[in-house]
Structure 1
Amino acid sequence: MSATILNKKVGSIGFGLMGLTTRPKQISYDDAVKVMKRSLELGANFWNAGEFYGPPDANSLQLLEYYFRKYPEDSKKVVLSVKGCFSLTRGPDNSPEGVRKSVENCLEKLQGRVPISIFEPARIDPQVPIEETIKALAEYVKEGKIGGIGLSECSVATIRGAHAVHPISVVEIEMSLFTPDALENGVATTCAELDIPIVAYSPLGWGFLTGQFKSLSDIDEKDFRRAQPRFQPGAFEENLRIAEEVQKISTSKGVTPAQTAIAWVKAQGQKSNMPQVVPIPGCTTVARVEENLKDVTLSEHELEDLNGLLQRNTVQGDRYGGMMAGLMNG
């Protein structure tokens, strides 16, 4: 089942580009392009990128420019969402000046090869009223430099305040079997009320739900996840046990745990009181993108089993630590 974003049809599963430019063992642009091309061939035409996904001279934007220089015909096929107004060292700057600096930088780096369908401040700036941020972005929509405005990691109050200034095109929020928060804190129901699709990032629980982890040693010591609360000794083992339960349910169905996890997220958007939900798993290989984009549907019984698993078990550790923990806008 497809979704509609900015009056354009997008696949029921999108593609997150973060891993293509942020992994400790960097893959080449040519290898990254193969993964991106395959995702599009399989129907994942909603792409999610970030101005800070990688260093200033080698992040999502440069990769996208490279891709669309090679495949200019694809620029009209993709709905591109770009997150900006954020630094991994300084945090968000959603002031009107920060908005202008970020949007202009993104446009410059893309060199006009692909339009920015949606621009999102990556985190809500506690120093700047959301209304000021949205007013600044609305000018870029009016000028035709971006197609629409998105929000990322935001509260119900923020969504309502922003939407009152300018229609919000998407709300990007973490959603997975490990993080069902948006289903419980009013964000999803508010998006349904305002007819705002949800873009669900990290539907694989930062990799826990791929089945590829057996121990902490499976994760590169330079991988940013090693610093996250859910990957600390003690918490990691407990969370791995939950992931193994998902593996059992998946095996009985004849699918992979990643396919089960993505199907569960998709299913949330098929409920009568929920908004459209588009999961955006990321990966770095063609084989993995083919796995992630396989169309899998869960039966009511299977959904009940997974929901029961969530009720019986508590994921250990907060979603983020350090500076990021204070930017959840909850």
Structure 2
Amino acid sequence: MPQVILPKTLAGKPVGPVGYGMMLLTLLGGIPYEECVKPMKAALENGANLWNAGTFYGPPDANSLQLLSYYFERYPEDADKVVLSIKGAYDASKNVPATRPEQIRASVDECLAILGGRKSIDIFEAARTDPNVPVESNVNTFLELIKEGKIGSYGLSEVNAQTIRRAHAVSPPAAVEVEFSMFSRDALEKGGVYDTCAELGIPIIGYSPLDRGWLTGQLKTLDDIKEGDFRKFYPRFQPGNFEQNVKLAEFVEQIAKKKGCTSAQVAIAWVQQQGVIAIPGSSKVSRVVENTTPVKLTEAETAELQQAIDKVKISGHRYPEPFHAYLNQ
């Protein structure tokens, strides 16, 4: 395949080849902040300085923002090293976007109040796009916030090619964030998100590069997903779908074993090979080190992976039905 170059800067700041997704640290609670800071510190020390946070990764009083405030209070010297991307303007209680101008402003102001001046917002994204609120309105609100010094730049999340073009016509986004992995390749459809971003020169950030654990090599049977695990509600992990999808995970694991690395490292290398910045998340230092350890795929390995991707049809939607209305908008 042709040589693809990973973005080296976002929002005018240098970023490493892998980022760090913070969702797992706070979404379900239960992890003390003093433990959360360990993988965060490990991410930064291993070059993953693009941190992806969310106002809805946990309850209003204990989400990414409170954790970030805690971290930068203890490590103020790291504030300028981290490129912070925050997804907000989203009503988690109803699972709907909140992207009217006053709602975007309220979300940004709340983030800044919680951060308390300890860290600036380098990129702010509306987590989802409301089809009833023109994206042009969103971008104009973001431009006002940039002019006021409240955010450094804006990004787009879960959008389609048409929305990207409309937003770009007002002002180019710093990045477009999409779900991207060997399991989730919708962005690669001809004329879609990937082609559009390549044409317009917009970096792509790929969330869930390990597809919620599928590409870690740890899932073999349905029994590996314990009761209470949120994945129990996701279509790809349902009986029937699971048995089909595990086939691709097994192919990836075989290649990783031959290469002498892990399935996760192969999966992240594949995402990087497309020129997309992967933002895997983990609450364990060992996993952060694993995910940030670089692996290069050979042409033969790439071809073998492509054969597996072509052979195994992924079964089941990437999200449960209640979330579908605001995906790829």
TM-score range, shorter chain: over 0.9
Q: Distance in 2 between matches of 1:245 and 1:193?
A: 32
Letter in 1 for 2:290: E
User: Offset at 1:226?
Assistant: 1.4
Residue in structure 2 matched with residue 52 of structure 1 by the alignment: 56
Aligned to 2:67, the other structure's residue is in SS state helix
Q: Distance in 2 between matches of 1:70 and 1:258?
A: 31
Residue in structure 2 matched with residue 88 of structure 1 by the alignment: 92
Q: Distance in 2 between matches of 1:35 and 1:2?
A: 24
Q: Distance in 2 between matches of 1:2 and 1:285?
A: 26
Residue in structure 2 matched with residue 273 of structure 1 by the alignment: none
Q: Distance in 1 between matches of 2:145 and 2:226?
A: 40
Q: Does 1:131 align with 2:125?
A: no
- Asked if structure 2 preserves the Cα contact closer than 8 Å seen for 1:23 and 1:223, the reply is no
Selected match of 1:165 from 166, 170, 185: 170
Change beyond 3 A, Cα 1:2–1:182? closer
Poorly superposed stretches of 4+, deviation over 6 Å:
none
Q: Does 1:200 align with 2:199?
A: no
User: Offset at 1:2?
Assistant: 6.2
Residue in structure 1 matched with residue 3 of structure 2 by the alignment: none
Selected match of 2:185 from 172, 177, 180: 180
Identify which range, 191-200 or 208-217, moves more after superposition. Answer: 208-217
Residue in structure 2 matched with residue 210 of structure 1 by the alignment: 216
Q: Distance in 2 between matches of 1:34 and 1:263?
A: 24
* CA displacement, residues 241-275 of structure 1 (integer Å, 9 cap, x when unaligned): 22011100110111100000000000011xxxxxx
Letter in 2 for 1:221: E
Letter in 1 for 2:169: A
Q: Distance in 1 between matches of 2:117 and 2:110?
A: 12
User: Offset at 1:236?
Assistant: 1.3
Q: Distance in 1 between matches of 2:232 and 2:248?
A: 18
Residue in structure 2 matched with residue 223 of structure 1 by the alignment: 229
TM-score, normalised by the number of residues in structure 1 = 0.95
Q: Does 1:12 align with 2:38?
A: no
Q: Distance in 2 between matches of 1:247 and 1:131?
A: 44
* CA displacement, residues 190-243 of structure 1 (integer Å, 9 cap, x when unaligned): 111111100000000111000122223322432322111111111112111220
* CA displacement, residues 58-80 of structure 1 (integer Å, 9 cap, x when unaligned): 10000000000000000000000
Selected match of 1:258 from 246, 264, 282: 264
Aligned to 2:143, the other structure's residue is in SS state helix
Q: Distance in 2 between matches of 1:184 and 1:250?
A: 27
TM-score, normalised by the number of residues in structure 2 = 0.95
Q: Distance in 2 between matches of 1:204 and 1:3?
A: 22
Q: Distance in 1 between matches of 2:255 and 2:36?
A: 32
Q: Distance in 2 between matches of 1:305 and 1:208?
A: 18
Change beyond 3 A, Cα 1:61–1:145? same
- Asked if structure 1 preserves the Cα contact closer than 8 Å seen for 2:50 and 2:84, the reply is yes
Q: Distance in 2 between matches of 1:217 and 1:84?
A: 34
Residue in structure 1 matched with residue 106 of structure 2 by the alignment: 101
Aligned to 2:326, the other structure's residue is in SS state coil
Q: Distance in 2 between matches of 1:153 and 1:121?
A: 9
Q: Does 1:140 align with 2:139?
A: no
User: Offset at 1:101?
Assistant: 1.2
Selected match of 1:23 from 14, 25, 28: 28
Q: Distance in 2 between matches of 1:61 and 1:220?
A: 29
Q: Distance in 1 between matches of 2:231 and 2:93?
A: 16
- Asked if structure 1 preserves the Cα contact closer than 8 Å seen for 2:188 and 2:195, the reply is yes
Aligned to 2:122, the other structure's residue is in SS state strand
In structure 2, runs of 5+ residues without a counterpart are: 1-5
Aligned to 2:84, the other structure's residue is in SS state strand
Q: Does 1:189 align with 2:195?
A: yes
- Asked if structure 1 preserves the Cα contact closer than 8 Å seen for 2:7 and 2:203, the reply is no
Q: Distance in 2 between matches of 1:302 and 1:153?
A: 30
Identify which range, 174-183 or 257-266, moves more after superposition. Answer: 174-183
Q: Does 1:285 align with 2:284?
A: yes
Give the % identical residues.
53
Q: Distance in 1 between matches of 2:118 and 2:219?
A: 38
Letter in 2 for 1:306: L
User: Offset at 1:5?
Assistant: 0.8
Q: Distance in 2 between matches of 1:252 and 1:283?
A: 25
Q: Distance in 2 between matches of 1:216 and 1:59?
A: 30
Residue in structure 2 matched with residue 326 of structure 1 by the alignment: 325
In structure 1, runs of 5+ residues without a counterpart are: 270-276
